[in-house]
Structure 1
Amino acid sequence: MLVDADLHIHSRYSKAVSKTMTIPNLAENARFKGLSAVGSGDILNPKWEEELLRYARKVDGGTYERNGIRFLLTTEVEDERRVHHVLIFPDIGIVHEMRERLKEYSRDIETEGRPRVNLSAAEIADLANDLDVLIGPAHAFTPWTSLYKEYDSLKEAYGDAKIDFLELGLSADSEMADMIRAHHRLTYLSNSDAHSPMPHRLGREFNRFEVEEATFEEIRKAILRRGGRRIVLNAGLDPRLGKYHLTACSRCYTRYSLEEAKTYHWKCPKCGGRIKKGVRDRILELADTEERPKDRPPYLRLAPLAEIIAMVIDKGVGTKSVRLIWERFLREFRSEIRVLVDVPVRELAAVHGEVAKAVWAYRNGKLIVIPGGGGKYGEIKLPEEIRKAEVDELESVEIELPEEEKPGQRSITEFLGVAH
Structure 2
Amino acid sequence: MIINADLHIHSCFSRATSNNMVIDAIAPQAKLKGLHLVGTGDGLHPGWLEIIKDSTTPQGDGIYSTEDCDFIITAEVEDNKRVHHLLILPSLETAHELREKMVSVDKEKEGRPRVRMNGAEIMDLVHDYDGLIGPAHAFTPWTSMYKAHDSHQDCYGKKPDFLELGLSADTNMADVIKELQDVPFLTNSDAHSPWPHRLGREFNQMEVEDISFSSLKNTLKRKKIKANYGMDPRLGKYHLTACTKCYQIFNPKKALELKMKCPECNGTIKKGVDYRISEIATWNKPHHPYHRPPYIHILPLAEIIALTYSRGVTTKGVQSIWESLVQEFGNEIEVMINAPMDEIKNIDKEISPAIQAFRDKTLIMVPGGGGKYGEIKFPENNLDKYL
TM-score, reference length from structure 1: 0.89
- Match of residue 56 from structure 2: 56
Please identify, of 118-127 and 18-27, the stretch whose mean Cα deviation from structure 2 is larger: 118-127
Instruction: Check conservation: 1:44, 1:99, Cα contact below 8 A.
Output: yes
Shift of 1:384: 4.0
Instruction: Check conservation: 2:364, 2:376, Cα contact below 8 A.
Output: yes
The counterpart of 1:328, out of the listed 324, 342, 362, is 324
- Match of residue 137 from structure 2: 139
Q: C-alpha offsets along residues 111-131 of structure 1, whole Å, 9 cap, x if unaligned?
A: 221011011111111111222
For 2:169, give the aligned amino acid: A
Shift of 1:61: 3.6
Aligned positions of 1:255-274 closer than 5 A: 255-274=249-268
Partner-residue secondary structure (3-state), 1:185: coil
Please identify, of 31-40 and 284-293, the stretch whose mean Cα deviation from structure 2 is larger: 284-293
- Match of residue 188 from structure 1: 185
What is the rounded CA distance, in whole Å, between the counterparts of 1:390 and 1:71 in structure 2?
Answer: 40
Shift of 1:92: 2.0
The counterpart of 1:383, out of the listed 376, 379, 386, is 379
- Match of residue 98 from structure 2: 98
- Match of residue 227 from structure 2: 233
The counterpart of 1:156, out of the listed 142, 154, 157, is 154
2:294 aligned with 1:313 = no
Instruction: Check conservation: 1:266, 1:276, Cα contact below 8 A.
Output: yes
For 1:133, give the aligned amino acid: G
Segments of 5+ residues of structure 1 without an aligned counterpart are 392-420
For 2:263, give the aligned amino acid: P
What is the rounded CA distance, in whole Å, between the counterparts of 2:103 and 2:41 in structure 1?
Answer: 18
The counterpart of 1:347, out of the listed 315, 338, 343, is 343
The counterpart of 1:368, out of the listed 353, 364, 387, is 364
Instruction: Check conservation: 1:137, 1:167, Cα contact below 8 A.
Output: yes
Aligned positions of 1:108-123 closer than 5 A: 108-109=107-108, 111-123=109-121
For 1:343, give the aligned amino acid: A
Task: Name the % identity.
Answer: 50
- Superposed CA RMSD in Å reads 1.3
Q: C-alpha offsets along residues 302-360 of structure 1, whole Å, 9 cap, x if unaligned?
A: 11001111110011112122111111111211210001000011111111112110110
What is the rounded CA distance, in whole Å, between the counterparts of 2:15 and 2:80 in structure 1?
Answer: 18
Instruction: Check conservation: 2:234, 2:374, Cα contact below 8 A.
Output: yes
Judged with a 3 Å threshold, the aligned counterparts in structure 2 of structure 1 residues 42 and 389 are, in CA distance, closer, same or farther, namely same
Aligned positions of 1:8-47 closer than 5 A: 8-47=8-47
For 1:174, give the aligned amino acid: T
What is the rounded CA distance, in whole Å, between the counterparts of 1:170 and 1:151 in structure 2?
Answer: 19
- Match of residue 205 from structure 2: 208
Partner-residue secondary structure (3-state), 1:87: strand
What is the rounded CA distance, in whole Å, between the counterparts of 2:320 and 2:311 in structure 1?
Answer: 12
Judged with a 3 Å threshold, the aligned counterparts in structure 2 of structure 1 residues 86 and 318 are, in CA distance, closer, same or farther, namely same
What is the rounded CA distance, in whole Å, between the counterparts of 1:73 and 1:319 in structure 2?
Answer: 32
Q: C-alpha offsets along residues 355-376 of structure 1, whole Å, 9 cap, x if unaligned?
A: 1101100011110110111100
Partner-residue secondary structure (3-state), 1:389: helix
For 1:134, give the aligned amino acid: L
Shift of 1:108: 4.1
Instruction: Check conservation: 2:61, 2:214, Cα contact below 8 A.
Output: no
- Match of residue 417 from structure 1: none
Instruction: Check conservation: 2:103, 2:114, Cα contact below 8 A.
Output: no
Q: C-alpha offsets along residues 197-218 of structure 1, whole Å, 9 cap, x if unaligned?
A: 0011000000001112222111
Q: C-alpha offsets along residues 259-302 of structure 1, whole Å, 9 cap, x if unaligned?
A: 11011110011111111110001001110034221220000001
What is the rounded CA distance, in whole Å, between the counterparts of 1:5 and 1:112 in structure 2?
Answer: 25
Partner-residue secondary structure (3-state), 2:383: helix
What is the rounded CA distance, in whole Å, between the counterparts of 1:304 and 1:286 in structure 2?
Answer: 31
Q: How many pairs align?
A: 385
What is the rounded CA distance, in whole Å, between the counterparts of 1:377 and 1:286 in structure 2?
Answer: 24
- Match of residue 83 from structure 1: 83
What is the rounded CA distance, in whole Å, between the counterparts of 1:175 and 1:384 in structure 2?
Answer: 27
Aligned positions of 1:121-132 closer than 5 A: 121-132=119-130
Instruction: Check conservation: 1:30, 1:203, Cα contact below 8 A.
Output: yes
Partner-residue secondary structure (3-state), 2:3: strand
Instruction: Check conservation: 2:225, 2:293, Cα contact below 8 A.
Output: yes
For 2:354, give the aligned amino acid: A
- Match of residue 401 from structure 1: none
Shift of 1:8: 0.2
What is the rounded CA distance, in whole Å, between the counterparts of 2:372 and 2:213 in structure 1?
Answer: 35
For 1:90, give the aligned amino acid: P
What is the rounded CA distance, in whole Å, between the counterparts of 1:107 and 1:190 in structure 2?
Answer: 33
